[in-house]
């Protein structure tokens, strides 16, 4: 996978304000507001920052959490990090290619998917291709 390295100014030039806040500053969009929360089309979800393929529609499911949910990613597309920024330990997921913040992974919530895992992803971190 190609690594994308840009300065903060270069990222600001290609991302809108909300994309920059989420992807580069680890922000979160408000629940229920994202373009892909209820999205059902078949295709591939890519990183809004660098266009690297991240998820397919086959891995998307409706979790009712207010953000797009996936139970698995394209192999090698995401990297996991420990995030203790809110005083609790969570697993942050970022785009492997550019390091853009996507959201968090939650396990063991009882969802009926093959691995009982939920990748809770900000819509603004994604683009979609049919």
- Domains of the chain, each with CATH number or no CATH: 8-129 (2.170.150.20)
Rounded to a whole number of angstroms, the distance between the first and last alpha carbons of the chain is 21
Q: Would you state the pLDDT for residue 1?
A: 65
**Residue 42 or residue 87, greater confidence:** 42
Report whether pLDDT(30) > 90: yes
Q: Which 3 state secondary structure label does DSSP give 90?
A: strand
Contact 122, 29 (CB under 8 A): yes
DSSP at 19: H
Contact 124, 22 (CB under 8 A): yes
Q: What is the rounded CA–CA span in Å between residue 106 and residue 98? A: 22
Query: How confident is the model over 75-114, as pLDDT tens digits?
Result: 999 999 999 988 889 999 999 999 999 999 999 999 989 9
- Is 120 noted as a catalytic residue in this protein? yes
Q: Which 3 state secondary structure label does DSSP give 94?
A: strand
Query: How confident is the model over 53-69, as pLDDT tens digits?
Result: 999 999 999 999 999 99
């Amino acid at each position: 996978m190609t690594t994308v390295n840009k300065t903060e100014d270069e990222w600001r030039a290609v991302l809108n304000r909300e994309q920059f806040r989420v992807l580069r500053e680890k922000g979160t969009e408000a629940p229920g507001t994202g373009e892909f929360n209820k999205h059902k089309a078949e295709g591939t979800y890519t990183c809004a920052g660098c266009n690297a393929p991240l998820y397919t529609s086959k891995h998307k499911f409706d979790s009712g959490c207010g953000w797009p949910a996936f139970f698995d990613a394209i192999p090698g597309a995401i990297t996991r990090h420990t995030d203790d920024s809110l005083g609790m330990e969570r697993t942050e997921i970022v785009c492997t290619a550019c390091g853009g913040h996507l959201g968090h992974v939650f396990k063991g919530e009882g969802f009926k998917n093959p691995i009982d895992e939920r990748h809770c992803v900000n819509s603004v971190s994604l683009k979609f291709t049919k």
